[in-house]
Structure 1
């Protein structure tokens, strides 16, 4: 798939498909044009050849890239950053303050991912290359990054999906690059005339109240566009924020019912899948539709995050 031009007004925004997990349309890597061009996200290491090919299609060399911005350090967003940096001699990696040490020393990231993915880890994520500390730049809440040509990015701390998550506003596109905090865009149903948006509640730092507060801060800027880690751009920010906030309440309520019934993460996942099976079939989208390849994977991970959150809440309450 060739890069997609999402915005074009002076300096543009392009998206390269990273084929995360080998699935098309799952993880987007963005190219921000400017006097100092930047990439947003890298995906895992297997996405790097797609990024290099996409840059070549756009007329860029990896040596042209000055910044690699990762919204958070989950491997589907930042796992390939160290590997890509080896081909980008002028670039530095921009990261949340809580994520810096894990990119410099990814030992704990690797250990955690191996526990979850087991024998699949090498195929999905290897290699994860440490990043020298002198090539890491931290952006705190309220910081900015000037790419030139009127493109000065504004960063906010945006927890909810993860504590090591920031989002940033691009004044040229009037858009937020949301990572995973404002949910996932399921674009595959566009052939049926609609897209939909769900929260991403993966373990182990999911916090629904923090997620709502982060979304509220984004909404206050009155954006015209949202750019998602998964996947692409939406021109309907108000609808995105409405759907994700509403479904977040449903996620927590469904998870609470499942945990009360002693069903654990498996029960949460089963109930979530059933909710969206019914909703999608009402709109002519059956379980054989391509959207379900990613949706089922996401519900599995979301269920684990919801279970972890509710167990943590119960432990806190019982102290």
Structure 2
């Protein structure tokens, strides 16, 4: 049975089982007058999304808007495949991301460089989206979906092709990866921890903090994370980003400098291990021990985050 959460305010969250992991990546369904989906994950997740929509129940021809916060494949890779099932929908994308959804060849090359032989299993197929089905949303632009307005906000930091979406109906913001990743497994244990998402190749800590400030200025009551779920404590989310982001950058810069400013597997391992030690110490202070399911997800996240930090440091040479 599909995992679906009713988050209130006519918003449901469908677990897309990204990478075969529960509570890793989700799609938000806004059951307003004009049915809207925010995030699709990669193509292997589309069967979970379709089953979740069927269970709600939602007819695919009634879906009008498919929104992707940015074009990384774990958020938008399945958009083309989903669109084939939704004849009346349009896909909303950041202006910098539109060309990559119309022609995903560069996205595919970039993902293959990171994931290698795992690419097909994780992402295939990536279906191009027809130009007439793509709508660019500029900073501050909005759409009315029936009694509520979705406003698009340019929020770089994780990626330059990233926007967040303010929903007037829930007074919440769909933030993709801009202000971090939430771990609901730990929230249920009483520890609200969200970590920055610093994946390659456009990570900018300064832009990330500026985007967080921009989102915070909207006084949201809820944050809807791409990974994973909703937080009704936005103040804690912003506090966590400002706590962890300097740790991520300072640790990576120190290891990088100590090893002569060169990229290597050893440097990657040392950065990842040093940050993981900080996280484990933080959780120990909270009286929480990591269980295997969330440990696996955090390790996956840190693997990609470390790549992004090393990529940033290599460009500063």
TM-score per shorter chain, which class?
over 0.9
Which runs of 4 or more aligned residues in structure 1 lie more than 6 Å from their structure 2 counterparts after TM superposition? none
Q: Which deviates the most, 300-309 or 276-285? A: 276-285
Distance in structure 1 (CA, Å) of the matches to 2:73 and 2:195: 20
Distance in structure 2 (CA, Å) of the matches to 1:76 and 1:231: 12
Residue 280 of structure 1: how far off its partner (Å) = 1.9
Distance in structure 1 (CA, Å) of the matches to 2:34 and 2:66: 11
Question: Could you tell me which residue of structure 2 aligns to residue 73 of structure 1?
Answer: 71
Asked if 2 retains the 8 angstrom alpha-carbon contact of 1:188 and 1:195, the reply is no
CA RMSD of aligned residues (A): 1.1
Question: Could you tell me which residue of structure 1 aligns to residue 92 of structure 2?
Answer: 94
Residue 160 of structure 1: how far off its partner (Å) = 0.1
Distance in structure 2 (CA, Å) of the matches to 1:7 and 1:109: 35
Question: Could you tell me which residue of structure 1 aligns to residue 5 of structure 2?
Answer: 4
Asked if 2 retains the 8 angstrom alpha-carbon contact of 1:192 and 1:284, the reply is no
Distance in structure 2 (CA, Å) of the matches to 1:82 and 1:190: 33
Q: Which runs of 5+ in 1 are unaligned?
A: none
Residue 267 of structure 1: how far off its partner (Å) = 1.7
Distance in structure 2 (CA, Å) of the matches to 1:304 and 1:267: 12
Asked if 1 retains the 8 angstrom alpha-carbon contact of 2:187 and 2:193, the reply is no
Taking the TM superposition and a 5 Å limit, the aligned residue runs for 1:125-274 are: 125-148=123-146, 150-262=147-259, 264-274=267-277
Q: Which runs of 5+ in 2 are unaligned?
A: 260-265
Distance in structure 2 (CA, Å) of the matches to 1:308 and 1:116: 12
* Superimposed CA distance per residue, residues 144-202 of structure 1 (whole angstroms, 9 cap, x where no aligned partner): 01111x21111110000000000010011000100000100011123422231111000
* Superimposed CA distance per residue, residues 114-161 of structure 1 (whole angstroms, 9 cap, x where no aligned partner): 12111111111100000000000000101001111x211111100000
Asked if 2 retains the 8 angstrom alpha-carbon contact of 1:2 and 1:57, the reply is no
Residue 56 of structure 1: how far off its partner (Å) = 0.9
Asked if 2 retains the 8 angstrom alpha-carbon contact of 1:219 and 1:241, the reply is yes
Asked if 2 retains the 8 angstrom alpha-carbon contact of 1:204 and 1:308, the reply is yes
Residue aligned with 1:226, SS: strand
Question: Could you tell me which residue of structure 2 aligns to residue 294 of structure 1?
Answer: 297
Distance in structure 2 (CA, Å) of the matches to 1:129 and 1:201: 26
Question: Could you tell me which residue of structure 1 aligns to residue 262 of structure 2?
Answer: none
1:275 to 2:278 alignment: yes
Asked if 2 retains the 8 angstrom alpha-carbon contact of 1:158 and 1:166, the reply is yes
* Superimposed CA distance per residue, residues 66-104 of structure 1 (whole angstroms, 9 cap, x where no aligned partner): 010000000000000000000000001000000000000
Q: State the TM-score, normalizing by the size of structure 1.
A: 0.95
Q: State the TM-score, normalizing by the size of structure 2.
A: 0.95
* Superimposed CA distance per residue, residues 242-282 of structure 1 (whole angstroms, 9 cap, x where no aligned partner): 11122101111111111011153222111111111222233
